[in-house]
Amino acid sequence: MSGPAPRVSREALLRYLDAIRDLLQADVTRHLLTITMVTAMHPDFVERKLAAILSADVAGYSRLMANDEVATVRALQAAREHIAVFVRQHRGRVVDSPGDNLLAEFPSALDATRCAIEVQRVLRARNADVPSERRLEFRVGLHLGDVMFDGDRIYGEGINIAARLESLAEPGGVCLSGPVWEQVRHKLVIGTEDLGEQTVKNIPDPVRVYRIRLQSGEDARADSDTGRLAPPWPGRPDVAVLVVPAAWVFYVAIVFEILFMISPFALYYYAAYAPALNLLHRSSWTAWLTDFVLPHFSYTSSHLLDALPELGLPLVLLGIGLFIVGFAQVYWTKVRGHGLVTGGLYAVARHPQYLGLAITGLGTFVVWPRVLVLIMYVTMLFLYGLLASWEEARCLEKFGGAYREYTSRTGMFFPWPLPRVIPWPAVGPRRTLATVSLYVVTVAATVGLGYWLRDYALTHLSAYYAEDMAVLSPARLTGAELRAAVRVAMSAAEIRQRIESGRRGALIVYVLPEEWQIADLPLDSASAERQTETDRGHHVPLDFDRVHYRVLVTRARTHDPEVRGPAIVKKAYGRDPIVVVGVNIQKAEITGIETPPPHVRWGDISTPLF
């Protein structure tokens, strides 16, 4: 007998459905976890790809470490850096570098082979002048095979094969597996030796091995699209390839202007040189580079400032002498085969040649103290420091402990080693960033010091300033003499008319003894009779007549039309001559009015203002 079906409440039904949902969620989660674990454990789910593997290690590493640990580690670090550069140049990636080993992977066998050949060729050239017992020689093995990737790491039998091939290579040599050889045999013209099938440790099947004959002279000459090799020794070797020429370019730029200033060819030189400097004058952002920071033709009330120009030529000669003696000492030792040079000048400093060049550069700056020359000089000093550091790394590799002992007792550029005040990164991007930062800060500080000296010099000139006029004298005149000469010159209506007829702007007025002649001021044309009586236009007797003067009125060239007072000289990058007035301050009369040449005898070029 059947009764009516029991009624299920709404709440009970909802609880039942929630329980079913929870069971389904747990089941799905369990299945997802199972799939994830299988994916992680099953080899078919590991990321794989075909890659060319390069394995390299140092031959005789333990012996090298036993002989000199510090020099060996430094040489190994430097070699790794440079090999890493080659790897990147060939589209590769350094995977690991434990101990003395380096492991890299490449997208193609051709890239890996090229990289290996170039590395060994450069290392061989670098080791040419290193004693055999100090040489850091790598053995390289290459294989093409399937590898597994786990983040940045790689695994697989292909890595083991490359490592075994590396052990078959000679110091400084390269061994290829059969798969690599098949990929490059028609793409690179290289001499090889077939070593046949080789049974190697922990690899079940024999491996066909080929040895590259690097000494054949045919290595790495590729087809038209691949025959170009990288420069010999990237990274620090760029010092030899790029920094050495750059250093000489900067050095020549500093001294070139000086040499022509004192030579009969100055006129022709400035005709070509003027556009380059005048180009800087077009913008206020670059016009300051042509400023002079020390007096060039003016006498001051400071004996130190007046003595500086006299030091220029002796410094140049001293620097050249040090350079020649150091150069001769090094190459005489090389010719005689005596090895490390530690005597003579090198007993005083480890790099007397660079010290000599630095002194020569300082002398030329003192003679021609332009801001641009100052920046070039600081840049030159940094380049010399880089060159010196590079040379010392080479000497440590070549001479080991003997050179380290020499550096401990002899300063780099001075007779005593300087203490290291700032900890400096050893290698890598941090060192590069630190060096660039130090260079920028040093240049900024040096230029700031230069402008401080400029302001100091201006306060010691014979000068006075009005709102729209700066009055200077290259001679030591009193304020009364300056004002009297200008007052007499400006008293003539013709002079005022000439000044007012031209463009508006501040004036720079020069007051000179009548017999003085200064080539840096546009006073007389080159054909004037006065010119033949002077030494290249410079004639500045100190026992001059203090009654008769010439007053040169010029219009300041400046990017600030509202400039006033002392700032007229500070912000001017040139001047346009207006009139030359002869005056007798005792009788308060004008003795002559002349139209000056439009510019100095070298052309329209930036010359010193004081």
Residue of 175 and 100 predicted with greater confidence? 175
Structural domain includes residue 4: no
On the question of pLDDT at 544 being above 70, the answer is yes
Tens digits of residue pLDDT in 145-164: 888 887 778 888 888 888 88
How much is the pLDDT for 254?
A: 52
Amino acid code (one letter) for 28: V
Exposure on the CB side of residue 1, measured as CA atoms within 13 A: 0
Asked if 458 contacts 295 with a C-beta cutoff of 8 angstroms, the reply is no
Q: Taking residues 579-595, report their average pLDDT.
A: 88
Q: Grade residue 59 by pLDDT with cuts at 50, 70 and 90.
A: confident
How many whole angstroms separate alpha carbon 324 and alpha carbon 353?
8
Asked if 254 contacts 373 with a C-beta cutoff of 8 angstroms, the reply is yes
How many whole angstroms separate alpha carbon 469 and alpha carbon 485?
14
Q: Taking residues 18-41, report their average pLDDT.
A: 46
Q: What percent of the chain has pLDDT over 90?
A: 6
Q: Which one, of 601, 599, 505, lies nearest residue 556 by Cα?
A: 505
How many whole angstroms separate alpha carbon 17 and alpha carbon 25?
12
Tell me: do 437 and 349 sit in the same domain. Answer: yes
Q: What is the pTM of this model?
A: 0.59
Tokens of 26: 């747990």
Structural domain includes residue 27: no
Q: How many CB atoms lie within 10 A of CB 602?
A: 21
Segments forming the whole domain that contains residue 574: 461-594
Alpha helix ranges (H) inside 226-265:
238, 244-261
Tokens of 145: 């095979």
Structural domain includes residue 211: yes
The residues facing 58 across adjacent strands are 138
Tokens of 155: 């695994």
Structural domain includes residue 207: yes
End-to-end, the C-alpha distance of the chain in Å comes to 130
Tell me: do 431 and 484 sit in the same domain. Answer: no
Tell me: do 289 and 434 sit in the same domain. Answer: yes
Asked if 89 contacts 234 with a C-beta cutoff of 8 angstroms, the reply is yes
Cβ partners under 8 Å of residue 488, min gap 6 = 551, 581, 583, 584, 585, 588, 589, 590
Q: Grade residue 262 by pLDDT with cuts at 50, 70 and 90.
A: very low
For 565-601, give one letter per residue: b (16+ CB within 10 A) or e: eeebbbbbbbbbbbbbbbbbbeeeebeeeeebbebbb
Tell me: do 242 and 358 sit in the same domain. Answer: yes
Min mean pLDDT across 24-38, 124-138, 454-468 is at: 24-38
How much is the pLDDT for 15?
A: 59
Tell me: do 301 and 413 sit in the same domain. Answer: yes
Structural domain includes residue 610: no
How much is the pLDDT for 113?
A: 92
On the question of pLDDT at 175 being above 90, the answer is yes
How much is the pLDDT for 379?
A: 84
CA angle 447, 450, 452 (to 5 degrees): 115
Tell me: do 242 and 346 sit in the same domain. Answer: yes
Asked if 545 contacts 449 with a C-beta cutoff of 8 angstroms, the reply is no
How much is the pLDDT for 534?
A: 37
How much is the pLDDT for 445?
A: 92
How much is the pLDDT for 216?
A: 41
Tell me: do 115 and 248 sit in the same domain. Answer: no
Tell me: do 158 and 267 sit in the same domain. Answer: no
Structure-token match 């095979």, residue found: 145
Tell me: do 387 and 244 sit in the same domain. Answer: yes
Tell me: do 203 and 260 sit in the same domain. Answer: no
- Mean pLDDT taken over the chain: 76
Asked if 118 contacts 220 with a C-beta cutoff of 8 angstroms, the reply is yes
Tell me: do 100 and 207 sit in the same domain. Answer: yes
Tens digits of residue pLDDT in 337-394: 666 777 788 788 888 888 888 888 888 888 888 888 888 888 888 888 888 877 777 7
On the question of pLDDT at 269 being above 50, the answer is no
